[in-house]
Every structure is written in C-alpha cells, then in structure tokens.
Chain A
Amino acid sequence: MMMATGSAAPLFSVRGLTKRYGARIGCADVGFDLFPGEVMGIVGESGSGKSTLLNCLAGHLVPDAGKVIFDTRTDGPRDTLTMSEPERRMLARTDWAFVHQNPRDGLRMGVSAGGNVGERLMAVGARNYGAIRATALDWLGRVEIAADRIDDRPSGFSGGMQQRLQIARNLVTGPRLVFMDEPTGGLDVSVQARLLDLLRGLVREMGLSAIIVTHDLAVVRLLADRLMVMKGGHVVEQGLTDQVLDDPQHAYTQLLVSSVLQV
C-alpha cells in the first residue's frame, strides 16, 4: 500500500482522534498513517463526521482527544495539537494547504488573481514584486488560467476557474500535505473531470501527500491510493481504494458503492 517513495517514516499520523459536540459524536477514535506522496480519500454520507475530522486534522477545530503528528522539516515529528498558535499558522501557510469546497471561502474575492496567489509568498517573507508576479504567472499557467487574467478579480471567474485559482494559491509555497474538502463539489461534470485531471497531475508531479474528503466515489477512485469509509463518526472500513470499492466488506460500504448511479 506504500507509494514508491522509499521513505519509511509516515508524514502524518493520527491516533485516537475524537471530537464531540456535547453528547453527540463528531468523530471518534480515528487513527491512520499517511506516507509521503500518498493520497488518502475519506468518504461517507453527510453527517458522518468527515468534515469534522478534516477540520480537526487541519487545526481549524480543536479535538477533545488524540494526537495529530506531522513530520516537520526542521524538528521532525511533532504533535500539531500541542504546538503554539504561531507555529501552527506558520505550518498552515508553508507545509500545509487547505482547499475549501467553496472557492469563495479560500480566496480573497476583492483581490486580483495574482494577489491571491502571491499572498502566501508574501506571508512567508517574499518582498520582491517582480519575483512574486513571475511565480504567480507560472502558477496560473500550471492551473490553466490565461496569463492576461492575472489582474482580474476572482469574482469575474467561472466556478471552475475559481477552484483552480484556489488550488494555485494553496500550492504556490510547495506544501507537502494538502487537505481538500470536496474539491469538486458544485462543479459540473466536464469541469470536474478537468479539475481532477489537473489535480492528479499536480499531486504526482510535486509528490504531494493529500487527504481528500468527498462523497463522490469517482473522485477517490481517480485520485486516492487509500480509502477510509466513515459512518456516524466512526471509521467502518479502510484499505486500498480499489480493494474497498471493488470488494466492500462492511454493510455500509456495500450500500455506498451500490448507490452510485451507472450511466
């Protein structure tokens, strides 16, 4: 189940992660290892706790129990939950990236496309306008946005372009771990296909590790090496994507797989 990266240490490991909303369970006792270059999908129905889990992993929510250990560049494996807030923010704008379902949550709609891409660079200290702009242009090209749109605001972009811009904005600092919350949600199927194609290319090319939350099994089939199925806050099944989808063991997974419409 490992990718051919040669590295034995996990990039990201989660142990006993639990988040409760009062008496209700958000997610309970979730644990997994993610290795460099590996893409993991989290699927499940609405309310199964997959977004709660992702937000806990990315540091947007504080879990009630558990460990979230990230292999940092400088200090080796560290529990991100016990890090100080500045350290966590630094991580969030360098080694981590978060792609929101709705690009409006992840973009600054009043700032030009170039400014959106450049923000993370400037946040980590880039102070050369020409260099920032050149990098922004390069990234717009990589996500197939025409160079002459660099000074346009994302409010004038189509949904698919906004999502691609959000991806460029997140990947510009060369992160090692990307969290994606339904990256193709709300896009029509042909745009989805292009976006998936693009994402797959970028993930392979940059050797990214990614955690993708989605309810769309086609997305995980294309992108994810490994799959985790959630129901009611618990992980009910995990394994290689093809294995889980082709030979589902748990009753819920069987239901999920058989619910996909065949065209």
Chain B
Amino acid sequence: MNDYTFAYLDEQTKRMIRRAILKGVAIPGYQVPFASREMPMPYGWGTGGVQVTAACLTPEDVLKVIDQGADDTTNAVSIRKFFQRTAGVAVTEATVEASLIQTRHRIPEAPLTEAQILVYQVPIPEPLRFLEPREVETRRMHALEDYGLMHVKLYEDIARHGEIATAYAYPVKVEGRYVMDPSPIPKFDNPKLSDSPALQLFGAGREQRIYALPPYTRVVSLDFDDHPFVASKADHACDLCGAGDTYLDEVIIDDAGGRMFVCSDTDHCGSRRRAGHVGRLGVPGKEVA
C-alpha cells in the first residue's frame, strides 16, 4: 500500500483530472479534454475509467467493477484487484453496497442512489466521429449545436433496415444542448441515464476526454416522430432467475443450436436467485453463496 500514492495516480494528476470532472459536471454532456496518463493496462481496457475512478476514490469508498454487467470477467477482476492493491479500498459485488461503481458497457439493474458515483469506460467519446472524421469540425458542430448530421445516421438506419438499428452507443441529447455518446451501453439502458440520482462520469483514456451527467440530468435519446426510440432487449426471460425486465446475454450451450438467456447483470441475477426466484433452466435450492 505504501509503495504507491493512494489510488496509484500522483496528487497533481488527480487534481488535474478532478478539475476536468468539475468542468464536465458544470457543462453536462460537454467533452472536457484532459491530459490522460499512461496506465498499467492497454488502451481499450478502461484506462479512462480507471483514471476517473482513481481521482474520485477516497479510503472510505466501497468499489464495484463490472464489465458487460458481470463482476467476474477479466476486465472487471483485474481493475478491482488493481484498486485493492493501490488504494486498499473495500470492494463488493453488490450494487447496493457500492459507493463507486466502474462499469464497462452496462448500467446496473438495481436503482442507483444519490450516494453513488457511476464511472463509465468510454472507447470513443465523440458521437459524430463516424459521420464527420475531422475533430476540428466536430468540435465546431458541438459549439454551434449543428446536430443535423446525427439524425442523418438514424435516417440511414431506417432507410437500410426499416427501423433504427443502432442497438448500443445510442446517441442522446443532454439537457436540450449537447449530443453525447453514452459509451457502448445497450440502448436498453438509455432511459436509466436520465434523471438518475447518481453522479455519472465518463472517461476516455486514449481519446483524452472526460464528460459527465450530474444527478437528475434530463437525457433524451434521439429519434424520429414516426420512428420513436425503443429500449429493446431480447424477447425472453432470464433462464436462471426468471426476470423478464432485465437486459439479457445469449449463451450458446451445445452444438445443436441450444441456447439460454441470462441476465447480463450477475449481481442482480444472483440476488434474485438467492431470494428464491427460479428461471426455466435454474435449479431451485442450488444457488451461489
């Protein structure tokens, strides 16, 4: 523990990141540039999220790290271990017990509270990136609220697929001003972005951008009048816990086309099973401790 500064980053770096976070909170949805540091993990593994988490952590915090909703995947486990070692903070897998949650590609199913901070790992913060490759131009478009292009993308979706086929990283408008990429969360989670009691912070390490949604911010998913936004999910119930209202992962279970759908949020699924809910393929009474 004493071999490192608390939470790995030196104090000046944390100060710099906190300033960026404060600016992001002050201008919801605006991408604040920051001097992203080299972290002891490759880009794409959450270097941005880790820096934001490191700048927000206090010794009293209880940390939860999820990757695609799961607490036990490589990315989640390695980041959790990293902070156990460099900050010595308590960790948990239970959403309700955590005070700071770092996430990749999901928002937990359990409702968040005002006492929690949700940190997103963001690969590409710029929602206009694939429509307009010039960074200078996209920043000007944000500054001038020139967002017609964003709807062109949705138009193309409908023209080609008959519906808005964008299923993740679905663009949103924050407080009627900035168009924001909510990181690659499924669009099922988009409604949870809006009016959330928790502070939501987004960190993109490679792209060196931080942005934020303060608590109770109005976030609207972009759509057309005659093709409204739909928070879609697989049309099944969880095969382990039976929940019909959660985001599901599809799992191939044999070579004969057999498959099952399970909650992507492992903590939510586990707590439901412990409470006695059983899905189609679940075994009653034989549950995780």
Which of A's residues lie within 8 Å of B, judged by CB? 85-86, 89, 93, 108, 111-112, 114-115, 118-120, 122-124, 127-130, 132-133, 150-151
Contact = CB atoms under 8 A, between A and B. Distances in A.
Contacts of A151: 159-160
A176 B144 CA distance: 23
A86 B143 CA distance: 9
Contact of B155 (A86, A120, A124, A132): A132
Contacts of B151: 122, 127
Q: Which size bracket describes the interface of B in this complex? A: 10 to 19
Contact of A123 (B148, B156, B223, B226): B148
Contacts of A114: 155, 159
Given A115-B152, A123-B148, 18 more contacts: A85-B144, A86-B144, A86-B145, A108-B131, A111-B156, A118-B152, A119-B148, A119-B149, A120-B148, A122-B155, A123-B147, A123-B149, A127-B151, A129-B155, A129-B225, A130-B226, A133-B159, A150-B159
A183 B223 CA distance: 35
A173 to B, nearest CB: 11
A128 B155 CA distance: 10
Contacts of B145: 86
A85 B226 CA distance: 32
B135 interface: no
A151 B156 CA distance: 8
A130 B226 CA distance: 7
B152 A128 contact: no
Contact of A128 (B131, B147, B156, B225): B225
Contacts, number: 53
B224 A129 contact: yes
Nearest to B151: A122
B148 A128 contact: no
Contact of B156 (A89, A112, A130): A112
Contacts of B131: 108
Contacts of A128: 224-226
Interface of B: 131, 144-149, 151-152, 155-156, 158-160, 223-227
A129 B226 contact: yes
23 contacts: A86-B144, A86-B145, A89-B144, A108-B152, A111-B152, A118-B152, A119-B148, A119-B149, A119-B152, A122-B148, A122-B152, A122-B155, A123-B146, A123-B147, A123-B148, A124-B148, A127-B151, A129-B155, A129-B158, A129-B226, A130-B226, A133-B159, A150-B159
Q: Which 9 A-B pairs rank lowest in CB-CB distance, beginning with the nearest?
A: A123-B148, A122-B151, A129-B224, A122-B148, A128-B225, A115-B152, A86-B144, A119-B152, A115-B155
B243 to A, nearest CB: 33
A123 to B, nearest CB: 3
Contacts of A108: 131, 152
B163 to A, nearest CB: 10
A86 B144 CA distance: 6
Contacts of B225: 127-129
Nearest to A119: B152
A81 B160 CA distance: 41
Contacts of A119: 148-149, 152
B155 A118 contact: yes
A188 to B, nearest CB: 31
A123 B155 CA distance: 12
Nearest to A116: B152
A124 B148 CA distance: 7
Given A122-B148, A123-B148, A115 B159 contact: yes
A130 B158 CA distance: 10
Contacts of B152: 108, 111, 115, 118-119, 122
B95 to A, nearest CB: 36
Contacts of B146: 89, 123
Nearest to A129: B224
Contacts of A118: 152, 155
Contacts of B226: 128-130
Nearest to B155: A115
Contacts of B223: 127
Contacts of A111: 152, 156
Contacts of A123: 146-149
Contacts of A133: 159
A129 B155 CA distance: 7
